[in-house]
Amino acid sequence: MKRSNRLTWMGAIALAALVLLSLFVAPNNTKINTGSTYNRASDGYGAWYAFMQQQGISIKRWQKPFSDIQPDSNPVTFLQISSDPRQTTLDSQEREWVEKGNTLVILGAGARVTEAEFSTMQKSPQGNIKIDTRRRYKKANSQQVDLGDRFGAIVWEQNYKKGKVIFSTTPYLAANAYQDYLSNFKYLANLVNQKGNTVFVDEYIHGYKDADVRKKESEADLSSFFAKTPVFPILVQVGILLLVLIWAQNRRFGKPVALDTPVVDNSEAYIQALAGVLQKADTTDFVVEMVGKQEQLQLQKALGLGQIPLEREALINFWIEKTGASAAELDTVLKLQSRKQPISERELLSWLGKWRNIRLIRNDARSDAR
């Protein structure tokens, strides 16, 4: 393969690897859809939006910035379902808009986690409301609380001159997951439609924008979209990498380093090779005989009995005398050792495990003797 072709292939592979890495490792932004009326998942509000339309309530999706809400002769209720807890304080623009007589409903207001149960049923005029959160707001007085318990407020309101703000500590007050709890849907419908206001649901915070807004914010074409996404800086970095490879002609920076030759452990290699041969030949009786002799000699040495193999009963008697332990396991391994018949691999492993236990008892006895 020619050098130029090799560089081209390397660049293509690097580009593909970075693109795949960005797809799997990039942060998950699906949480922005939490609370959206376009979302049919459990954390969405598509079912509640359809419920409102069936009830004949005037409700619309708002896909523009908050600042674009034009003053109207009729007051407006603006519903925001936040994917992340937001502060209970209003900025100057929100406060000015509310003071004119409008209502701002914020689901997902920040509050502290309390000792309340995570799932509770709260009483309301619309029936029992299922609440799944431990967050409670403790600064609201009893006149402000619309839904709550002894741990604090779950839904409360604050007046600002002619208007008011309604807060909820849970963003899932009437999410799709609560379709079996119709009282939740009715309760939120009552909150946003108390005065017959036109209800706007904020979809702009969930990433949905009208065509004129996208054009104004330079998101009308594909190039401007990629310019604002993480893909664009990745492509820039890949381009720089390719230029460096072409300029350097894929040469190493510095002297080549020789690889160290691994040192072979002849004893370990021999043992592994012998074990493989014995396993294939199914000669477990040979393993039991050889290993058993060595284990018995080591045991006799530890008990001070010399290197001449003793009879089974004599060795067992010395074992009981020296260690005071039960002779059941020792008797079992010595009997199996004297059979000189092939055994299964499972029995072999069990036999070796018993010898290990005997060594542990032996070492404990020697430590106590010292």
**Structure pTM?**
0.55
Q: Give the other-Cβ count within 10 Å of 237's Cβ.
A: 11
Between CA 336 and CA 334 the distance in angstroms is 5
pLDDT (tens digit per residue) in 346-361 = 877 777 787 787 777 7
- pLDDT tier at 160, thresholds 50, 70, 90: very high
Q: Give the other-Cβ count within 10 Å of 160's Cβ.
A: 19
Q: What is the pLDDT of residue 84?
A: 87
Q: What is the pLDDT of residue 195?
A: 76
Averaged pLDDT, 199-212 = 92
Burial of residue 278, with CB atoms counted within 10 A of its CB: 0-12 exposed, 13-18 middle, 19 or more buried: middle
Residue entry with tokens 């005065």: 195
Q: At what angle do helices 284-302 and 312-323 cross, to 10 degrees?
A: 50
| % the chain with pLDDT above 90 | 38
Between CA 82 and CA 106 the distance in angstroms is 7
Between CA 158 and CA 156 the distance in angstroms is 7
Q: What is the pLDDT of residue 29?
A: 47
Collect all residues with Cβ–Cβ distance below 8 Å to 1 and sequence separation of at least 6: 9
Q: What is the pLDDT of residue 331?
A: 76
Q: What is the pLDDT of residue 216?
A: 83
Between CA 121 and CA 132 the distance in angstroms is 9
Convert 210-228 to b/e letters by CB count within 10 Å (16 or more is b): eeebbeeeeeeeeeeeeee
pLDDT (tens digit per residue) in 238-264 = 777 777 666 665 555 556 667 777 766
Token pair recorded at residue 31: 């949480």
Find residue 77's DSSP bridge partners: 103, 199
Averaged pLDDT, 22-28 = 51
For 68, 173, 352, the CA distances from 169, given in Å and listed in that order, are: 27, 9, 62
The type of residue at 213 is V
Token pair recorded at residue 142: 């009893």
- pLDDT tier at 45, thresholds 50, 70, 90: very high
Asked if residue 358 lies in contact with residue 299, where contact means CB atoms within 8 angstroms, the answer is yes
Helix (H/G/I), strand (E/B), else coil: 134: coil
Asked if residue 59 lies in contact with residue 53, where contact means CB atoms within 8 angstroms, the answer is yes
Helix (H/G/I), strand (E/B), else coil: 156: strand
Asked if pLDDT for residue 328 goes beyond 50, the answer is yes
Asked if residue 156 lies in contact with residue 148, where contact means CB atoms within 8 angstroms, the answer is yes
Asked if residue 130 lies in contact with residue 184, where contact means CB atoms within 8 angstroms, the answer is yes
